[in-house]
Structures are given as C-alpha cells and as structure tokens.
C-alpha cells in the first residue's frame, strides 16, 4: 500500500522557494538528508508539488529527472514518483557519463579500462557471494546465448543480463551501480556493431568459463575469466568497428 505524502509538503512557503531545477534538487536532497522525506515516500502529484515549491512544472520535471538519473527518485508507471527504497541497488542512468565523455573526450580505451577494473572486482566478489538463484539465472542467460548465436541483437540482450546478474551477485550496491552505468554505455555502442560479429560461439564459451569459476567458488579464476572475456570482447568490437562503412575511429 503506497505511503502517505510526507507532512513536510503541507508546510512549505512557496514565496521562499527557489525557481531553478538546481534549487529543486537541493530542496529535495535536503529533505531526504534531514529525514523529512523517507525511503519509499511518494511525492505529491506534479501540479501540487510545483505549486508547493513555487516553481514551474517544467522546472520541477527537470529537477526530478536529475534525481531519478542518479537513483535517488524512482518513477513508477501509473503510481507516481517515489524516494528510492533503502536496500535496493540504485539504477544509475548513463546520461551523465555520456555527457562527461562528450565534454572531456573520454576514449573507448578509457571506458574499457574502467569496465575491466570494475567487472574483475565484481566477478571476484560474486564468486564468493552468489546465491543458488543467481547461479541459476546466470546459467539461463548462457543457455539463451547459445540459443541466439544466429541472432546477434538477441545474443547481446542475454550477454548484458548475464553481466548484470554477476554485478548483483557481488552484493555491493556501489560497485553494482557503477559497473552497470559503464557497461550500459559500452553495450549501447556494441549494439550498433554486433550484427557484424564473427564468432559469438567463442563469446558464449567465455561466458561459460566465467560461470564455471562462479560455480566453483573461485574468486581468482572468476577474475581471470572475466579479464580474458572482456579483452577478447574489446578485440571483437574493434574488428566490428573497422568494418563499419561510416567508421571514423571516434571515441565512445
């Protein structure tokens, strides 16, 4: 049953409120830090909240979008916007990282190194901590990979779910969120070239090696198998990029 809207909203003085998206973000963050807004609380309807904060609805939407991007707020279709529940791994949108990449010219190699560092750590932890249910999910995704060797786009979906399951199995919400954010950007880039993949069967076997290390509860073997897989994936993507008619060698 949805929680009631926090009483704090009933006492706001709109004349004292800011008028920019940044100030909306600041106000809502302050309420969360002070405990006025708690995990699971539902925000008032957009029209009411904009009036209470003394801002326009577009400004309010921009502020809420910023907080949703970093996993502080969660929008649920047909239910409203809620403060994220403690204990859940925040889902970080890749947009800020994409923007930083555009501004600072992050290279594909830098993005890959970040993913490699994160996923090797995550794999080692997951080998120790994965539940039997998570092991089953990994096995199911590997089965899906072998079943979609002739459908690269579908293969990539199983590929990503496999990595996301390992991330969740690490039981470290910070590493999970960071890894998923970086990996999502790289998967988005791969989706544009994967139809040119030359050997998805080899990739599926690499995932199976990772799973085997997980099943054997060997952190070192899991990290090594993840390293081998990701370095081979980088090589494969470079070949796919090279074969793109419009390829210009640009960074992610």
Q: Which residue has the tokens 């990739």?
A: 203
Q: Are residues 134 and 231 in the same domain?
A: yes
Q: Are residues 139 and 223 in the same domain?
A: yes
Tell me whether residue 247 is in a domain: no
CATH number of 77's domain: 1.10.10.10
Tell me whether residue 2 is in a domain: no
Residue 85 has pLDDT above 80, yes or no: no
Q: What is the DSSP letter of 107?
A: -
Cβ contact 20:59 at 8 Å: yes
Least Cα distance to 241 among 203, 192, 186 occurs for: 192
Output the six-digit token pair for 217: 């509860």
Q: Are residues 46 and 100 in the same domain?
A: no
CATH number of 103's domain: 1.20.120.530
Tell me whether residue 99 is in a domain: yes
Q: What value does the mean pLDDT of the chain take? A: 80
Last residue of a domain, one of 31, 49, 83: 83
Encode pLDDT of 27-43 as tens digits: 888 777 777 888 888 88
Q: Are residues 30 and 103 in the same domain?
A: no
Number of domains in the chain: 2
Segment among 12-16, 154-158, 208-212 with least mean pLDDT: 12-16
pLDDT of residue 210: 98
Q: Is 243 helix (H, G, I), strand (E, B) or coil?
A: coil
Encode pLDDT of 171-201 as tens digits: 998 888 888 778 777 777 778 888 888 789 9
Alpha helices, H only, the chain: 21-34, 46-53, 57-69, 95-104, 108-129, 132-147, 152-169, 173-191, 200-215, 219-242
Phi, psi of 192 (to 5 degrees): -80, -15
b vs e for 169-207, b when ≥16 Cβ sit within 10 Å of the residue's Cβ? bbbbbebbbbbbbbbbbbbebbeebbeebeebeebbebb
Q: Is 56 helix (H, G, I), strand (E, B) or coil?
A: coil
Q: Are residues 145 and 48 in the same domain?
A: no
Alpha-carbon torsion 224, 230, 231, 232, what sign? positive
Encode pLDDT of 90-113 as tens digits: 555 555 566 556 666 677 788 889
Q: Are residues 62 and 99 in the same domain?
A: no
pLDDT category at 252 given cuts 50, 70, 90 is: very low
The residue segments making up the domain with residue 186 are 95-242
d(CA 237, CA 192): 10
């Amino acid at each position: 049953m949805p929680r009631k809207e926090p009483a704090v909203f009933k006492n706001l003085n709109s004349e004292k409120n800011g008028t920019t998206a940044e100030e909306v973000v600041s106000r809502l963050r302050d309420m969360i830090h002070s405990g006025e807004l708690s995990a699971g609380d539902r925000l008032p309807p957009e029209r009411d909240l904009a009036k209470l904060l003394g801002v326009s609805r577009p400004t309010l939407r921009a502020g809420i979008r910023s907080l949703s991007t970093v996993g502080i707020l969660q929008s649920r279709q047909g239910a409203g916007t809620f403060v994220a529940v403690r204990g859940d791994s925040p889902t970080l949108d890749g947009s800020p990282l994409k923007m930083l990449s555009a501004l600072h010219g992050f290279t594909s190699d830098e993005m890959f190194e970040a993913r490699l560092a994160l996923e090797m750590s995550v794999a080692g932890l997951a080998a120790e901590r994965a539940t039997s249910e998570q092991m089953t999910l990994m096995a199911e995704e590997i089965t899906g990979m072998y079943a979609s060797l002739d459908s690269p786009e579908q293969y990539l979906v199983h590929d990503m779910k496999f990595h996301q399951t390992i991330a969740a199995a690490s039981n470290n919400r910070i590493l999970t969120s960071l890894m998923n954010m970086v990996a999502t950007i790289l998967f988005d880039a791969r989706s544009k070239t994967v139809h040119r993949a030359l050997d998805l069967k080899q990739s599926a076997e690499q995932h199976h090696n990772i799973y085997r290390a997980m099943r054997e509860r060997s952190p070192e073997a899991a990290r090594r198998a993840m390293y081998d897989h990701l370095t081979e994936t980088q090589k494969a993507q470079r070949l796919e990029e090279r074969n793109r008619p419009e390829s210009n060698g640009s960074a992610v």
